[in-house]
Structure 1
């Protein structure tokens, strides 16, 4: 079945967070290879534009959206850019639009740009994604069912696109080889503090890996730099701290490493997109849900009764806060590193 005819123009709406944007860009790159006849238009936030350019897309229209924390920017004047972007998209007479979220807001935005059809996933009632969205259906949208058993982001999005485009979308899962004396980056930070792994565990990793000849470095954003210095400055210069000032700077730095170990965040998905192997330390999500290609994802409940909480924890301020991520031992991460390093060159 091919829902979108040849030589159509298709708009992808990606209006959530950095992690969602790079995942969307990576998967859409493979879709573009499988359907080179399609003209792709990306409708996304300004800060995500470099990620789609990285994946080879050049027709990108940016705006602020009333989704994923964007309300303040919208109220502060971003609504003008949103309206201009809608007006621009309407003039392009796009054949179809797509979102990968299945939320009322994305489907409504898709209806505003006057495409013939807006495609959106419809999650089975007990699918974990259904718990994260607004569920009011939009009459003009065409919803495609996703079964609860299809719970992996890097699997159900390509499958959804395969249905829409009528071709098999397969992700390129060939990682870059790891050097025999690898450069390993740590990313210990997340904007959601409950997802962070204890600092003493990172120190344990550093000691074990450095004793085996690995070079380690800590990546952080400008906003994370103060905390990185507080936790790890006493180890400098043995483990340098690299604060990246822009997406372009971050991409340049990631290209210099062999392996990234990080909490579940944008950076592990970016590293995977750049062909790096990753080890992902999960908190409130089951490890397979957001597991990137070429990665080992670690996660467990730690006997938390609310696990998995889809990163909407009920444990904050209580005894046992973050016990899921705290229960992941440094030895389990080192075992994953050993498995990764078995493919060294």
Structure 2
């Protein structure tokens, strides 16, 4: 086994959590080269993984809305990149048409994908020469790792170390020069995932009392307005300027605490092993949540948003000083979902949100 291509193109949180399979493949096949195919919008993520040799940026949005010769050139260039290397193995961890097309265009003789029942889009089955082992009813991120390990016959560490290395900023963010700060990711692309502003205000005030400066990131004008409304009610809090994904990642890397809804950037915090609390309101916590005792916790669930008290209790559980006082070193293990006796088994389709 010389070279493997992993195909996981979207979304941000899915691409982040899937990075753990790179370490598994390197341990299973010493000396193997691992490349990654991803939507160009999320290409930074595998670039931050030292175990990934080459990142192939698929211009997927241009496939849908090709307007000029520049778009055509980008599409042709991405196809040429796919065919430049000879892959011993292609593994499609996404299971939809766009990932299947990428897998097929490699012309590899061994292209693995999910069984038809587990595909996000059944028509994607055309691209695969082999099937993965049956997908378990499992946490989405642990399920990806187990699927590959069972298919290719290698064992995996239950809790692999963090794998992402965020580029250091040329100039340290201003917030990093002040007192420790907490990032509050209040914004989300789906309205049903939101947590009430009054709750964010209550949490922000509690963090100020703990000696943390709440920082509020945003991505759209509407999110900025929401952030400003929260900041007006929370003393010493700050609304950050518009940041690139790399700049946000650098803030996450420096944060003392991250609290946010079930979004990609909060998954980044957990992948970096920052003290993290993830809030669930409209998606399945057992399927998509993160849980490392003493490091990151998920609260709430689909249709059952957590209370302010639940979130504050989770914050207390992941506070670094609490671990130090108990004589525990912050753990660096893979996020997984704790069993929930009140929840139903999660769906078996690949994660694609």
- TM-score band, normalised by shorter chain: 0.7 to 0.9
> Deviations along 1:256-307, whole A, 9 cap, x unmatched?
11221100001111112222121111122211212235321122344xxxxx
Q: Distance in 1 between matches of 2:324 and 2:285?
A: 25
Q: Which residue of 1 aligns with 2:273?
A: 275
SS, match of residue 122 in structure 2: coil
308, 323, 343: which is aligned to 1:330?
308
SS, match of residue 343 in structure 1: helix
Q: Which residue of 1 aligns with 2:56?
A: 61
Q: Which residue of 1 aligns with 2:334?
A: none
93, 100, 108: which is aligned to 1:100?
93
Q: Which residue of 1 aligns with 2:141?
A: 154
Shift of 1:30: 4.2
Q: Which residue of 2 aligns with 1:232?
A: 230
> Deviations along 1:206-244, whole A, 9 cap, x unmatched?
122322333322222355652344422414761112235
- Alpha-carbon RMSD across the aligned residues, in angstroms, is 2.8
5, 10, 28: which is aligned to 1:16?
10
Q: Which residue of 2 aligns with 1:208?
A: 206
TM-score after normalising by structure 2: 0.75
Matched positions, count: 301
TM-score after normalising by structure 1: 0.77
Q: Which residue of 2 aligns with 1:49?
A: 43
Counterparts of 1:277-296 in structure 2, within 5 Å, are: 277-292=275-290, 294=292, 295-296=296-297
Shift of 1:31: 3.0
Q: Which residue of 2 aligns with 1:315?
A: none
Alignment gaps of 5+ in structure 2:
164-178, 326-353
Q: Distance in 2 between matches of 1:243 and 1:336?
A: 28
Contact 2:200 2:230 in 1 (8 A): no
Q: Which residue of 2 aligns with 1:299?
A: 300
85, 90, 95: which is aligned to 2:83?
90
SS, match of residue 288 in structure 2: coil
118, 136, 139: which is aligned to 2:111?
118
> Deviations along 1:121-146, whole A, 9 cap, x unmatched?
237x5xxx65xx21132264322143
The yes-or-no answer on 1:35 pairing with 2:15 is no
> Deviations along 1:47-85, whole A, 9 cap, x unmatched?
32221121112411212126xxx6545456645423322
> Deviations along 1:75-123, whole A, 9 cap, x unmatched?
5664542332223322322222111122244223311210111111237
